[in-house]
Structure 1
Amino acid sequence: MRMRNLSTKLILCLLAATPFAVTAVSAAETPNIIVIYADDLGYGDLGCYGAEGYTTPNLDRMAEEGIRFTDFSTSSSICTPSRAGLLTGRYAQRWGHDGKVYFPHHDNGMPTDEVTIAEVLKAKGYQTGIVGKWHLGHLPEFLPTNQGFDFYFGIPYSNDMWQDPEAKLAEDVVFNANLTREDFQNEEVDNKKLHRNQVPLMLGNEVIEWPVDQSQITRRYAEKAKEFIVANKAEPFFLYLAHSMPHTPLFASDAFNGKSERGLFGDVIEELDWSVGEVLQTLRDNELEKNTLVIFTSDNGPWLSKKDHAGTAGSLRDGKFSAYEGGCRVPCIAWQPGTVPAGLTCDAQTSTLDFLPTFAALANTQPPQDREIDGLDIREVLAGNFDQAPQRDFFLYRGKAIRQGDWKYIENKKRKQLFNLSSDKEESKNLFGQFPERAQDMAKQLTKVTEQLK
């Protein structure tokens, strides 16, 4: 049986019972931090990474004014463990996650004793907000408001899902598409079949709209992100802007629908680019740009089976779900005028796992000391000192592949493969036969690491 919805008063009590001592810090002492996270955006899906058929002028300008990363990876090639890795700095396997995603009929989520970036920064006096997709558990005990976020506005899981009839509805909830409260709460129907792609919009722990008009969702996320920035400009803030696009089904507003040569996918990316421009311009308008670190990236590679509605990993092999580079290596741009040097391209191996330890250091605090953190402090990289990038012992791809330096070993049912990414990021030349001892050593390391993470 599911837990009943937690009351607002109880949620506030739980938030107050943080393991960190909250310290008031002025915005001048520590940077604001914004992470913009696209969904299923591939390595080749931005203009500055070679995309064609549409334009991304705001992201291209962001890259010209900051650092563009060419060897940046997420901790998984599928969204739930990828998002967990970003927020906690830890592989999701460490808390028993099975590598799959959560659905509206599931009763589980990321454990509340996992410590997120929001909790670390909140303890240093930051205001914390998430706008967009969560997908780490939709029940009250797993929602962002119980994971360190002061504010939440968005869809609790992927936009191709449906609704949980037990979700808490706001008193003034808006029903669209001629649907009613009875339709939402009817447990007799097959929601997956009847209401697929009809997802709820939440504010805090309540559903405020169902089904949300997804043609307006990118615009609404941008507007809500701008509101959060302006409302918190006098104090340090952390904003996690997790877009629902370009995960399918694709939607674009009338202002962008039918505008690009690439079709609907191109329209969606152009609107996503517009939204980034709106956020950056809001920072400039409020004289916050020099004290705000903004990072744009994606949760995993493109969902290639969606064909025209999917992007591309460029020259990289494969896409979403895969242990090849196209599954985990994604675009990443870092921007903070005057702090992050302009116009640089970084080929140092970096990851979303690095966000938590790096942001903690920028806020003059530390990551949680009672658990293993898989990320590294990459402040030197953000300062342009690429030769001082920290070296990780290993990097894991969905438990199916391991990387050590430039060497990558992949083990699947069909065959075992060894690649050297320094000369073959396309993973086209299997070196297993040429370097059998290295392959065997990495196979043993893969087994050892996956066992240790359980």
Structure 2
Amino acid sequence: MNNFTRFIALALILGSALTSIAQDRKKPNIVFILADDLGYGNVKAFNSKAFNSNSKIPTPNLDKLAGEGIKFTRFYSGSTVCAPSRCALMTGYNMGHAWVRGNAKGKDGFGALRAQDVTLAETLKRNGYKTGMFGKWGLGDEDSQGAPHLKGFDSFYGYLDQSHAHDYYTNRLFEIIGGKMVEVPTDTTQYTEDLIVNKAVDFINQNKNEPFFLYLPLTVPHAELKVPAELLRKFQNADGSSKFQPETPFEKKGNYDSQMQPHAAFAAMVNKLDTDVGTIVKLINKLGLDNDTYIFFTSDNGPHKEGGADPVYFNSSGPFKGIKRDLYEGGIRVPLIVRAKGKIPAGQEISSAWAFWDVLPTITELSQTHLPQNIDGLSFSPLLLGKKPVKEHDYFYWQFNEGGLKEALTKGEWKLIRFKHKGLTEKLELYDLAHDIGEKHDLAKANPEKVKALYSLMKQAKTPSENPRFDWSDVEK
């Protein structure tokens, strides 16, 4: 081998080594998919024992995703309804400290994030990430400080307001154009879920060569129960009748349109969600990004019963008691799947408790991004890499006020729930989740010392809301 040949060989080896180092140092892509009102029991991978002829809705893409990564079986949403849950996700604060603690219009001073509320998207953008959100925001309208273009997103397309998101055949959506939030017309014959997913696909294709954060808060299967006819036919018999009998037609009420076959429509929406998740995952794989991409999938809260939805029929809460707007497990425990080929060993199941406010510190640690100070969240990223977290939560806390104040606190396997209506005596319920996952047996009277200890901790877990919209002190009187 002459000197020139040796030089070429050495250059090739060095080039290969530098390429390998560069790939190892590349910031990972983050894809966070959020379903809307999907119950723990609606995903077969989390509820296979209860999947019978009545409850079964195919979720093959989600089941495959769970098999290729980690399934978290005790993961909690930020709240039991939309906006506060998403606030916890974006800011890392629980309901004892968050700015948005309930559903409200996204106006400044009400349900919109403030300028000082730092979001996950803002932290990642400062670290060089391209940031895109497609779907439902719910934390600020176009004229507020909480609008997506002011909270760290380079790209956005979808709904700003959660009420508007009830309409799957709307004549308008919102989009970031030229750095500003713009209302754009839409074809009312097009299903908005398709429009949103198409924009997400475009975002991935446009940013495949640099680190990106894709936040995909899809609107299905939230009511109203509406799907294109071709999707509904998958869950109908040849004569057009529903495969999920008996059906009780839902008549238009409030924001929700009529639906003659709510069971079939709900099944089609869950199946549509699963198909859209599959679209994103397949694209990541096709582009060769699967080894550089963490894919998260979860739901914003428990299953709903609005618009004709029937969570009992579909066993949507799985083994848990309660649905959306409850602080029982069925209202706040949601499925979480995390996949990253080449980084996360497949087929794992983790039963330790984590929550929405832990997502921000987890993703910032995975992406070597500066973590905002003094938030409630802790990182569970070591679990994704087969290690033990440096720190875990001592307790978890929630509060919610619609028709009275509800509070819940878990410490280990013990759970205390407090109910307080204005002018009425408070009610306390205590459950041992280790032996009563369905919260069927209230142990409060038999365990007064445990109730006292958890009640004391519940008081310490919260601060009075800075937001006058969520100042619930009058409920305590």
TM-score range, shorter chain: 0.7 to 0.9
- CA deviations 1:127-166 (Å, max 9, x no partner) are 000000000011333211100000000111225568xxxx
Q: 1:429 aligns with which of 441, 444, 449?
A: 441
Q: Which residue number corresponds to residue 409 of structure 2?
A: 402
* Contact preservation (8 Å) 2:124, 2:364: yes
Aligned counterpart for 2:376 among listed residues 374, 390, 398: 374
Q: 1:251 to 1:305 in 2, by over 3 A?
A: closer
1:120 corresponds to: 123
1:202 maps to 2:174 = yes
The separation in 2 between residues aligned to 1:64 and 1:196, in whole angstroms, is 31
Equivalent residues in 2 for 1:11-410 (5 A)?
29-50=26-47, 51=51, 52-91=55-94, 93-102=96-105, 108-140=111-143, 141-159=145-163, 198=170, 200-204=172-176, 205-209=181-185, 216-260=191-235, 261-262=243-244, 263-308=264-309, 310=311, 312-369=316-373, 372-385=374-387, 388=389, 390-398=391-399, 400-410=407-417
Q: Deviations over 1:268-298 (max 9, x none)?
A: 1111101000000100110001110000000
Question: Contact 2:39–2:317 at 8 Å: present in 1 too?
Answer: yes
Of 383, 394, 416, the residue aligned with 2:428 is 416
Of 453, 456, 459, the residue aligned with 1:441 is 453
1:390 positional shift = 3.5
Q: Is the CA contact (8 Å cut-off) linking 2:112 and 2:146 kept in structure 1? A: yes
Determine the C-alpha separation between the residues in 2 that align with 1:155 and 1:446.
35
CA distance in 2, matches of 1:55, 1:350: 27
Contact 1:78–1:101, Cα closer than 8 Å, also in 2: no
Q: Give the Cα–Cα distance (whole angstroms) in 1 for the partners of residues 184 and 23 of structure 2.
A: 33
Cα distance in 2, alignment partners of residues 110 and 428 from structure 1: 37
Letter in 2 for 1:42: G
CA contact (8 A) 2:39 2:299 kept: yes
Offset, 1:259 = 1.1
- Taking the aligned partners of 1:305 and 1:255, their CA distance within structure 2 comes to 23
Q: Please say if residues 265 and 308 of structure 1, whose CA atoms lie closer than 8 Å, have aligned partners that are also in contact.
A: yes
Q: TM-score, normalised by structure 2?
A: 0.77
3-state secondary structure, aligned to 1:256 = helix
Are the equivalent residues in 2 in contact too, given 1:292–1:336 (CA < 8 A)? yes
Calculate the TM-score normalised by the size of structure 1. Answer: 0.81
Corresponding residue SS for 1:258:
helix
CA distance in 2, matches of 1:304, 1:441: 35
Indicate if the aligned counterparts of 1:129 and 1:228 stay in contact, CA closer than 8 A.
Answer: yes
Partner of 2:256: none
Shift of 1:347: 0.6
Deviation track 1:185-212 (CA, whole Å, cap 9, x = no partner) reads xxxxxxxxxx998573111111112585
Q: Could you say what secondary structure the match of 1:418 adopts?
A: strand
Aligned AA for 1:68? K
Q: Report the AA paired with residue 219 of structure 1.
A: D
Residues 91-126 of structure 1 show CA distances to partners (whole Å, capped at 9, x for unaligned) of 255354342332689975111211111111111100
Q: Secondary structure at the match of 1:125?
A: coil
Instruction: Please give the alpha-carbon distance, in whole angstroms, between the structure 2 residues aligned to 1:199 and 1:394.
Output: 45
Partner of 2:16: none
Comparing 94-103 with 321-330, which one deviates more in the overlay? 94-103
The aligned amino acid for 1:437 is: E
Contact preservation (8 Å) 1:160, 1:248:
no
RMSD, matched Cα: 2.5
Per-residue deviation at 1:82?
0.3
Q: Counterpart of 1:44 in 2: which secondary structure?
A: helix
CA deviation string 1:40-84 (max 9, x = no partner): 111101121225332011111001111111100011001100001
The structure having more radius of gyration, on CA atoms, is 2
The amino acid of 2:119's aligned partner reads T
CA contact (8 A) 1:160 1:197 kept: no
Residues 136 and 142, structure 1, Cα contact 8 Å, conserved in 2: yes
User: Measured at CA, do residues 108 and 56 of structure 1 come closer, stay the same or move farther in structure 2, by a change above 3 Å?
Assistant: closer
User: 2:286 is aligned with what amino acid?
Assistant: D
Shift of 1:245: 1.1
Instruction: Quote the Cα distance in structure 2 between the aligned partners of 1:45 and 1:389.
Output: 33
Q: Which region of structure 1 is more displaced relative to structure 2, 97-106 or 197-206?
A: 97-106
2:94 touches 2:398 (CA, 8 Å); kept in 1? Answer: no
Residue type of the alignment partner of 1:206 = V
CA pair 145-131 structure 1, distance change in 2 beyond 3 A? same
Identity of matched residues, %: 32
**2:414–2:431 CA contact under 8 A, matched in 1:** yes
Q: CA deviation at 1:249?
A: 0.5
Q: Secondary structure at the match of 2:461?
A: helix
Query: Does the residue aligned with 2:429 lie in a helix, a strand or coil?
Result: strand
Amino acid at match of 1:318: G
Paired AA for residue 395 in structure 2: F
- Which one is further off, 293-302 or 40-49? 40-49
Q: Tell me: CA distance 1:119–1:212, structure 2 relative to 1, closer, same or farther (3 Å).
A: farther
Summarize the Cα distance change of 1:98–1:37 in structure 2 as closer, same or farther, 3 Å threshold.
closer
Structure 2: distance between partners of 1:198 and 1:92: 32
What SS class does the counterpart of residue 398 from structure 1 fall into? strand
Q: How many residues align?
A: 394
Which AA in structure 2 matches 1:285? K
State the shift of 1:258 in Å. 2.6
**For residues 227 and 196 of structure 1, what CA distance do their matches in structure 2 show?**
21
